[in-house]
Amino acid sequence: MAVRGDHIGIRVRHWRLKRSLSQRQLAGLAGVSQGYIAQIEAGTKAVDKRSLQVALAGALQVSVADLTGQPYDPQTIEHTAAAGAVPSVRAALLALALDDRREPRRSIDELRQATAVAADLHNACRYDQLVPMLPDLLRDLYSFGDEPAALRLLSWTTYAATFAAKYLGYPDLALLASGQASRTASRLGDPAWLGVAEFAMVHSLPPESKDLAARRLPRAIAQLEPSSGDGAAAQVYGMLHFTAALFSAVSGDSSNAYAHLNEADQVAARTGEGNFAQMWFGPTNAKIWRAGVYAELGDGGRALKLADVNVSHIGARARKATYFADLGRALAQTKRHDREALTYLLRAESIAPQRVRLSPPVRETVGAMLRRARKAAGGRDLQDLATRLGTV
């Protein structure tokens, strides 16, 4: 079926021709076959793994963002509302970075209540409501200086800003927010919050900086290990191991990825289900992260062994949606179970539409599924999902 869509393969071909490279030459530089490049450019092979995106971007001498096309043009009222507030968030974070302090406009109790509302919106992936409230919340919390209660609230708010910016496709803003999270945690001096800030920092780094992440993560884990017996610090310690597992998978180091997953599993068994800093660390999230690492490694068989995880213990829609999206990606990688993959992807979208519709891996997977389908095999549901994601 001929489908006109927006996918990474289109941009790969654009940059390949701009660099005067043949498909064979690009394949050699990226470490794949010429046939693989041909499928990517035709849009029938999803570029949904970070490792492949990094390899292609490096070979073409562009950024991964140049290939993914983020930030995407808003297609919904919700996306428009979130994107429209981004300049104000950037201005607020720059004010904090330059130590531009204003007089407090709300009490600590009022700010604690506002942060609780922000946490609910963060967990629900309601970026249309969360992002517009961040500028004043950031400025008001910063106005209290080194007040510990305000620093803790600001540490979490900058963490939330980091991931909202990341998911909306503004990596520069995510890095700016994580930098403020790091400075705030340093002023607070709490090992657990320092770990949260490092978690945000590593996840805000562009994919091309995976080597930098690989150097930072062992240091962060080692620094937090002496405090990992504490409930909060132990949860963050486990989350850093999850992150190290993912980055190991991106680097193709499956052995190290599994080692970090196993360490995090042991911590989760000790802590049980937790939710320090809205991170939802525990045995359930351990299985969700494991499914994601398997999908990144292209090990769909292992991912599908985790298809019966009870996600009701997790209060964050992003984590629930990520779980079903990763299962869908794992099935789609086989090219033999697209109908089952679609079921998981639709479930992910129903849980967190704003999050899933802005996910480059999901957009790539759905687009490739549609383009490789026979005329009658794609189905209305797949076509409608691709339309909502903006891949057709």
Average pLDDT over residues 3-31: 88
Q: Which two tokens stand for residue 10?
A: 């289109």
Instruction: Please give the DSSP secondary-structure letter assigned to residue 125.
Output: T
Cβ proximity of 117 and 136 under 8 Å? no
pLDDT at 160 over 60: yes
What b/e string do you get for 158-174 counting C-beta neighbours within 10 Å, with b at 16 or more? bbbbbbbbbbbbbbebb
Band of residue 44 on the pLDDT scale cut at 50, 70, 90: confident
Average pLDDT over residues 324-338: 87
pLDDT score for 108: 97
* DSSP-derived 3-state class of residue 45: coil
Cβ proximity of 64 and 57 under 8 Å? yes
pLDDT score for 5: 55
C-beta contacts of 161-165 below 8 A and 24+ residues apart: 161/89, 161/93, 161/134, 162/200, 162/203, 162/204, 163/122, 163/200, 163/203, 164/82, 164/122, 164/127, 164/130, 164/131, 164/134, 165/86, 165/89, 165/204
Across 1-5, 187-191, 250-254, which has the greatest mean pLDDT?
Answer: 187-191
Query: Per-residue pLDDT tens for 215-232?
Result: 999 999 999 998 888 899
pLDDT score for 178: 98
pLDDT score for 321: 97
Please name which of 253, 155, 245, 233 lies closest in space to residue 200, comparing C-alpha atoms.
Answer: 155
Cβ proximity of 127 and 167 under 8 Å? yes
pLDDT at 376 over 70: no
The per-residue DSSP string of 191-259 comes to HHHHHHHHHHHHHHS-GGGHHHHHHHHHHHHHHHGGGTTSHHHHHHHHHHHHHHHHHHHHTT-HHHHHH
Band of residue 161 on the pLDDT scale cut at 50, 70, 90: very high
pLDDT at 99 over 70: yes
Query: Per-residue pLDDT tens for 260-281?
Result: 999 999 999 999 999 999 999 9
Q: How far apart are CA 208 and CA 62, in angstroms?
A: 10
Please name which of 328, 251, 327 lies closest in space to residue 290, comparing C-alpha atoms.
Answer: 327
Please name which of 9, 50, 20 lies closest in space to residue 250, comparing C-alpha atoms.
Answer: 50
From the CB of residue 113, how many other CB atoms can be counted at a distance below 10 Å? 12
Alpha helices in 98-147 (DSSP H): 108-124, 127-142
Question: How many residues in the chain?
Answer: 392
pLDDT score for 3: 36
pLDDT score for 375: 46
Average pLDDT over residues 184-207: 96
pLDDT at 378 over 80: no
| Residue 170 to residues 90, 91, 327, Cα–Cα distance (Å) | 10, 14, 26
pTM for the structure as a whole: 0.92
Q: Which two tokens stand for residue 35?
A: 């046939």
Q: How far apart are CA 305 and CA 299, in angstroms?
A: 11
Average pLDDT over residues 109-123: 98
The per-residue DSSP string of 344-391 comes to HHHHHHHH-HHHHTT-HHHHHHHHHHHHHS-TTTSHHHHHHHHHHHT-
pLDDT score for 1: 31
Continuous segment of H or E residues that includes residue 79: helix 77-84
Q: How far apart are CA 339 and CA 376, in angstroms?
A: 13
Q: Which two tokens stand for residue 283?
A: 């045995």
Residue the block writes with tokens 């919904």: 76
Average pLDDT over residues 275-302: 92
* DSSP-derived 3-state class of residue 114: helix
| Residue 280 to residues 80, 87, 263, 272, 359, Cα–Cα distance (Å) | 29, 30, 17, 10, 21
Cβ proximity of 118 and 134 under 8 Å? yes
Task: Compute the mean pLDDT over every residue in the chain, rounded to the nearest whole number.
Answer: 92
